[in-house]
Amino acid sequence: MKKFLAVRIFNILVTLFVIATVTFFLMKLLPGSPFDEEKLADLSDEARMEFYARYGLDQPVYVQYAKYMGNLVQGDLGISYYYKGQKVESLISGRIGPSALLGVQATILGVSIGLILGMIAAFRHNTAWDFFTMFIAVIGVAIPNFVFAALLQYYVGLKWGILPVAFWESYDSSILPTIALSMMVIALIARFMRNEMLEVLQQDYILTARSKGLSQMKVIIRHTLRNSMIPILTILGPIVVSLLTGSLVIENIFGIPGIGSLFVDSIKVNDYTTIMGLTIFYSTFYILTVLVVDLLYGIVDPRIRIAGSKG
Amino acid sequence: METLLEVKDLNVSFRTQAGVVKAVRGVNFKVNKGETLAIVGESGSGKSVTSKAIMQLLPNQTATYDSGEIIFDGQNILEINDKKMEAIRGSEIAMVFQDPMTALNPTMTIGKQVAESILNHNKNVTKKEALQRAVEILELVGIPEPAARVNQYPHQFSGGMRQRVVIAIAIACNPRLLIADEPTTALDVTIQAQILDLLKDIQRKTGTSIILITHDLGVVANMADKVAVMYAGRIVEQGTVEEVFDSAEHPYTWGLLKSIPDLDADEELYSIPGTPPDLLSPPIGDAFAARNEFALAIDYEVQPPMFAVSETHSAATWLLHEKAPKLSTIVQEKESVRAKRKGKKNLTLAQPIIQVRDLKKHFRMSGDSYLKAVDGVTFDIKKGETLGLVGESGCGKSTTGRTILRLYEPTGGEVYFNGKPIHGDLKKSDENTIRQKMQMIFQDPYASLDPRKKVLDSVAEGIDIHKLAASAKDRKDTVQNLLEIVGLNKSFMNRYPHEFSGGQRQRIGIARALALNPEVIIADEPISALDVSIQAQVVNLLKDLQHKQDLTYLFIAHDISMVKYISDRIGVMYLGSLVELAPTDELSKEPLHPYTQALLSAVPTPNPKIERGRERIILSGDLPNPINPPVGCRFRTRCPYAMEKCGETPIWKEAQPNHWVACHLIE
């Protein structure tokens, strides 16, 4: 197990190094910068050079790269080109709160409702229940979440006036965006859960369990759920990451100061250091989530535990 | 004797997309306390459905009980509510399933799975007590070190051990009726012997009644007190095991008994013609009439009732009606006319067509370990002979076949075809020749045909690759001809594989192998996926083709009785090495290697008298892990005669003329 973790962490570091390098050079390849010649035309040459020097842009690219990577190792993502004098890491940490709250809420809501709907569909296979839940699932995937967001804003926010339409003022502000975000998750999880449960219910060991005289409920709880969860974990990883790191569109629609809107803004203004910082942040988060999912696999499925401890 | 279970006029049907399938059509039988009833039948005969109906385990969305009663201990199981049925299931009636690899929950420890049943039926037992009891039961079914192993998961057990666990779950609450649904079909023959022994032992100790569902008449002869033969959803004959085996009255039972190869008889293997009827629309009269060579006119119109032959023996055939013609004379005439097996081939002077020398195939596993699937086998295949290769799963017999064909690149050793080397680097043209001259027939007729290809294109694939057809018409003619040779209608060529039965598909597979006029055919378990009556048809076809087209076969199988029937010589493999190779008669009469002796002894014969009397050599333990096999003689860990010297690898030597063996006991 220790060896497994050591290997995995080493792999993660290598992956992050590659991602950082690729992102850095991609940014350098892009035309344009926040400090285009024409925008700085009013400045004197001296002032301009000083300006470049402050951001380290006067040095050759390889020096910039070495510096950037050196800082990165110490957790320093550089200074934003746009938000004056602000460090990228503090920008991110200032914005993470709302995104994380929305993400956690949407994950819990989406996964639990999705699992329940999937289970209902599986147990009432080929009945109206099944068709109804799968109809919801199709809608959840087919209709983009910004359409849901707009509908929620119009009805719940404006017409009925139950919840705030937008902005980040109180806890109530988080409810509508959470619902809008979780629709997709509900749909995905419900569909997966239904298929997995149907698959597991066909297995011989369910017959063995029933032949012991266990009630339907006990068969489901003890023998079906855990085995159906294994493949769900696979899709859970990416879902959690995309929800926790903020949805670009939903945050913009609801005017929420989260990471998603920071990302969109920084792209609009060519704030390269922030873009790079966010990319690395997203990647790290993604890779760590995958690691957690893999460890969870081991807990849920003993067959994988053995394979893991050998490798 | 007291009746424990009585099934009266049971009718079960299933709703499917194609329509209503009448799977069980009026089944009647009784099981007395402490006795074993075997229900025999081929796939689709309704034997499994009957057993699941007793347990009320049929899917209630699709299955309906049209009529009938299942009376267990005085109450009709079909009428009681779910709660009461749950109390009976697992405690009064328990079940052992076919495939131990899938019958256990992979994410729950063995101990919990056994204890669960105990806890479920005993309200005042604590978890700890239940687990303690689980350890005792696991000990009873022969799991070594049960106290330590209760905390392990199913994947840490071998197939045979898992089946012991499944049995442990079934007997955890001392059921009065144990239903074993093909309990040994998925197991190797030496493990089968262990499990059958265990079931008998449990019955002796607990006095439980057993319903044994099986297709294997050898297992029936070994285990059963009474037999019920099922065909197309009905019981066609039942009686004591002696009555059914010695004086069967139903033509289907005759057919089944005669389909089993008997080495002493020198005639062609009997095969029941045709295939079972479609139960979507069961025939009006006797469902077996269309395949029955003795069918009377009335068989096609009226379903025969059960005629009692004795107090215990009855059969559903009009032949037993007092006005029916007396058959015994007709049968005898037919028997004598039946084609004699074309006398024994004289192969002592035949040249070897394939020579295998020290062939090795190692597969790389995770890390630096190697699975030595085949580790140095040496043998010849003579022109025109059938060499049978037998052994248990994982012994390397299939890998040997595939490596000879170079479907796997050999790790070491040499293979010669007609004296020319076919190992190492070959010219493209030479490789093409080998691919043409050696063909393969695969085990699974369902998986080995491309479902999106017409039969014509599947059979002609080799012809296309080797550009053997001059024109489209030529190609079509060849395929039509091939289909006729293997006994299929030539119009079948425009159909797709899903339209055919297993036996027909296997014939298509054979036609495909013949398409290139091969000299050697490697048949890898060609009949193990087929029903008994269909197996005989395919084996007869293979023998017939060999005779007509001068073919050489390497026949790989685990069914030893069939291999004995078809092969001129037999090689026995164990854990990647060949342990014995001899002419068939000699090997069966005088096996030299202890493993061969155990293997032959483990095969149950379809003869209750022999089965009752015989002492079986039951090997202890499982096959060792082939990644880390025992040093020296690989069999020594299970060999009853193991001695110090067995730590050295025994030499492959010709102990008697044409009889090769690798064992230190033989000098």
At B509-548, the pLDDT tens digits run 999 999 999 999 999 988 887 887 788 888 889 998 998 8
Cβ contact A214–B86 (<8 Å): yes
- pLDDT, greater one: B441 or A168: B441
Q: What is the pLDDT, as a whole number, of residue B334? A: 47
Question: Which residues are registered as beta bridge partners of B417?
Answer: B354, B420
**Beta carbons within 10 angstroms of residue B339's beta carbon:** 9
Measuring CA to CA, which residue among B390, B388, B337, B399 is closest to residue B546? B388
CB nearest to A204's CB, from B85, B86, B97: B97
**Alpha-carbon gap, residue B453 to B657, rounded angstroms:** 49
Q: Which of B107, B118, B156, B213 to mutate to test the interface with A (most CBs of A within 10 A)?
A: B107
Q: In what order do the strands lie in the sheet with B3-16?
A: B19-32, B3-16, B63-72, B75-76
Let me know: does B231 contact B276? Beta carbons within 8 Å. Answer: yes
* Triad A160, A161, A162: Cα angle to 5°: 95
Amino acid letter, residue A304 = I
pLDDT of residue B257: 87
pLDDT of residue B329: 52
- Residue A153 confidence (pLDDT) above 70: yes
Could you tell me the strand order of the sheet in which B577-583 lies? Answer: B438-441, B520-524, B552-556, B386-390, B569-574, B577-583, B659-661, B653-656
Residues 6+ away with beta carbon under 8 Å from A262: A91, A92, A95, A274, A278
The pLDDT value recorded for residue A310 is 36
Q: Degrees (nearest 5) of the Cα angle B203, B162, B34?
A: 10
Chain A residues close to B155, C-beta within 8 Å? 302-303, 306
Comparing B340-349, B422-431, B437-446, B479-488, the range with the smallest average pLDDT is B340-349
Residue A209 contacts B where some CB pair is shorter than 8 Å = yes
- H/E element, B341: none
Q: Tell me which residue of B181, B96, B110 sits closest to B139, measured CA to CA.
A: B110
Beta strand segments in B365-480, E: 370-382, 386-390, 412-417, 420-421, 438-441
Residue of B nearest to A302 (CA): B107
How is A153-187 classified by DSSP, letter by letter?
IIIIIIIS--S-SSSSSSGGGGHHHHHHHHHHHHH
Interatomic CA distance for residues B551 and A29, integer angstroms: 69
pLDDT at B284 over 90: no
Question: Quick one: pLDDT at residue B607?
Answer: 85
Q: How sure is the predictor about A311, in pLDDT bands with cuts at 50, 70 and 90?
A: very low
State how far the Cα of B59 lies from the Cα of A166, in Å rounded to an integer. 51
The ipTM assigned to this model is: 0.80
* Structure token pair of residue B133: 């009891």
Tokens of B578: 């060949």
What type of residue is B1? M
Q: Is A161 an interface residue toward B (CB < 8 Å)?
A: no
Give the tens place of pLDDT for each residue, A66-121.
888 888 888 888 888 777 778 888 888 888 888 888 888 999 999 999 999 998 88
Return d(Cα A220, Cα A200) in angstroms, integer: 10
**Residue B411: which residues within 8 A CB-CB, separation 6 or more?**
B360, B361, B362
Domains detected in chain A: 20-73 (no CATH), 95-310 (1.10.3720.10)
Rounded-to-integer distance, Cα B189 and Cα B557, Å: 12
Residues with Cβ within 8 Å of A127's Cβ and at least 6 positions away in sequence, in order, are: none
Quick check: B565 and B263 in contact, CB under 8 A? yes
pLDDT bin (cut points 50, 70, 90) of residue B56 is very high
- Beta-bridged to residue B141, according to DSSP, are none
- Determine the distance in angstroms separating the CA of B36 from the nearest CA of chain A, rounded to an integer: 20
Residue B206 has pLDDT above 70, yes or no: yes
Number of helices (H) and strands (E), helices first, in chain B? 21, 24
Q: How far is it, in rounded angstroms, from Cα B646 to Cα B652?
A: 14
The pLDDT value recorded for residue B338 is 44
Say yes or no to pLDDT of A260 above 90.
no
Q: How confident is the model at residue A309 (pLDDT cuts 50, 70, 90)?
A: very low
pLDDT interval class at B91 (50, 70, 90): very high
Q: CA-CA distance, B216 to A167, in Å (whole number)?
A: 74
pLDDT tens digits for range B604-623: 888 888 888 778 888 887 77
Give me the mean pLDDT over the B632-659 stretch: 91
Are B103 and A208 an interchain contact pair (Cβ–Cβ within 8 Å)?
yes
pLDDT of A307 over the 70 cut: no
Measured between CA atoms, the residue of chain A closest to residue B89 is A213
**CA pair distance B573, B652, nearest whole angstrom:** 12
**A208 to chain B: closest CA residue:** B103
Chain A residues within an 8 Å CB radius of B98: 204
Q: Find tokens 């697992």 and name the residue.
A: B90
Q: Which helix (H) or strand (E) holds B577?
A: strand B577-583
List, in order of start, the domains of chain B with CATH numbers: 102-174 (no CATH), 251-337 (no CATH), 359-661 (3.40.50.300)
B229 φ, ψ (degrees, to nearest 5): -100, 125
Interface test with B, best of A201, A212, A233 (most B CBs within 10 A): A212
Please indicate whether residue B578 or residue B667 has the higher confidence score (pLDDT).
Answer: B578
Nearest residue to B92 (alpha-carbon basis) of B75, B105, B109: B75
